[in-house]
Amino acid sequence: MTSEGLITLKSAHGPADTLARLEAAIKARGLTLFAHIDHAAGAREAGLPLRPTDVLLFGNARGGTPLMQAQQTIGIDLPLKALIFEDGEGSTWLAYNDPHWLARRHGLGPEAEPVLGGLSRLLEALAQGATATA
């Protein structure tokens, strides 16, 4: 399960627990949780089946604004987002966009590296906290 620019980790927890752990980690870091999109609920309302599939949008202006100042088109990919989903075998996964891939997509240069490095470390820590056993 690979897609260019997407980092995907298998979770040791079910979808609801992974989602709750990620939400708690986002809030503990002082980030803003902008939205929770429950795609499975939307599918149910349309009379269609869909395994658990949730997206969280989160971030803060200190992280995203410098990137948008350098290249406003990156705003289409901000705020940060994470996808939590259950596959056909019942495994839970958490996926997020690699900030360095986003930078390449939008043509950001090496001057963005300090921000990108910080975002990468943040996303990795959030994902590990949500998916790992502990």
Count other C-beta atoms under 10 Å from residue 123's C-beta: 18
Q: How far is CA 98 from CA 9, 80, 106, 119, in A?
A: 12, 10, 13, 9
Which helix (DSSP H) or strand (DSSP E) does residue 94 occupy? strand 92-97
Over residues 33-38, mean pLDDT: 98
Inside any domain, residue 118:
yes
The per-residue pLDDT for 133 is 82
Distance CA 47, CA 25 (A): 33
Which one-letter amino acid corresponds to residue 49?
A: P
Q: Which residues form the domain of 87?
A: 7-131
In a domain, 2, yes or no: no
What integer pLDDT is reported at residue 134 of this predicted model?
Answer: 65
Largest CA distance in the chain: 48
Query: What residues are paired with 80 via a beta bridge?
Result: 58
Distance CA 67, CA 120 (A): 13
Query: Both tokens of residue 34?
Result: 């902008």
Please report whether residue 1 resides in a domain: no
At 1 the pLDDT is 59
Structural domain tally of the chain?
Answer: 1
**What is the domain-level CATH number for residue 89?**
3.30.310.70
Q: What is the pTM of this model?
A: 0.94
Contact 95, 82 (CB under 8 A): yes
In a domain, 81, yes or no: yes
Q: Does residue 29 register a pLDDT over 90?
A: yes
Mean of pLDDT values over 54-78: 95
What is the Cα Rg of the chain in Å?
15
At 3 the pLDDT is: 86
Alpha helix (H) residue ranges in 46-98: 61-70
In a domain, 75, yes or no: yes
